[in-house]
Homo-oligomer: A and B are copies of this chain.
Amino acid sequence: MKMQKYTYDYPHPAVATDCVVFGFDGHDLKILLIERGIEPFKGAWALPGGFLRMDETAEQCAIRELSEETGLNLNYLKQLGTFSDVNRDPRERVISIAFYALARKTDVQGGDDAAQAKWFGINDVPRLAFDHDYILHKALEKIREDIHFEPVGFGLLDKEFTMSELQRLYEAILGVQFDRRNFHKKMLQTGILEEVEDDSPTFFGKNSEMRSMSIDALFGNSAPTSRSSYSSSHDDDCRSTRRWGTKFRFNKRRYDEFKEGDSFRQEF
């Protein structure tokens, strides 16, 4: 079967996809890399990706390769650009359609069994194979732009999250610090967040399955950060009376209203 050849009247480049998978461990923005097992760049780290099949779109290809190489099943992919330098692959002419994707901790939990896949803090990324350094650079640029106008952040957090988690995420992505009160105010007045009412004592287990699991240590290779003492408390204590740790969730309906509405460019 492998002996079959494919012949064309004109030369065709090979077409591949690559995917920059972002994650967030509560402190740092992470990306997922795989270690190459074959030449070229054997042993080097690279973005997950692979060659396009004839019966799938680029996005389907990226999703499939991601699943095969890292065990991650994601569906929020965003195209980021196509890279077509003539010599970007030493084997043959390969153009690569690049995406970025957002992984929740719960996604990671599901299938981080790919032995050669590893999370790296965004500041601890090694030299990558091919032009993947450049692709990563572009992905960072793009997510930093997108986050102002699209609900990028919510793809990286659990369905319910605290305002502080959201703020830390924004700070990690943008590399800046925000004033807590102003951040809180601005996020609320966009209207795309809704508060999760936690004080309703109706059913004892109402929101229990939605409560975020402990924040740290789900990303296996969390780079040593300055503050490693972040709350590793179990969640099964003190549920009923606290209005501490208010949780929010993304209100997709409201967001869609914004997007369709007159106000093009609603900013987050």
On A, residues with C-beta under 8 Å from B are 2, 5-15, 51-59, 79, 81-82, 84-86, 93, 95, 97, 144-145, 148, 174, 264-265
Residues of B within 8 A of A82 (CB): 58, 79, 82, 97
Assembly stoichiometry (copies): 2
Name A's interface SS: loop
Known interface pairs A144-B264, A264-B144, A265-B145; A52-B9 also in contact (CB < 8 Å): no
Contact between B86 and A57, CB atoms less than 8 A apart: yes
Which residues does chain B contribute within 8 Å of A264, judged by CB atoms?
A: 144, 174
The answer to whether A6 and B2 touch across the interface, beta carbons within 8 angstroms, is: no
| Max count, chain B CB within 10 A of own CB: residue among A14, A84, A265 | A84
CB within 8 Å for A55 and B6 given contacts A12-B15, A15-B95, A265-B145: no
- Cβ–Cβ contact B6 & A10, under 8 A: yes
Contact status B9-A7, CB under 8 Å: no
Measured CA separation A174–B148 after assembly (Å): 20
Q: Is the CB of A5 within 8 A of B9?
A: yes
Q: How far is the CA of A222 from the CA of B113 in the complex (A)?
A: 60
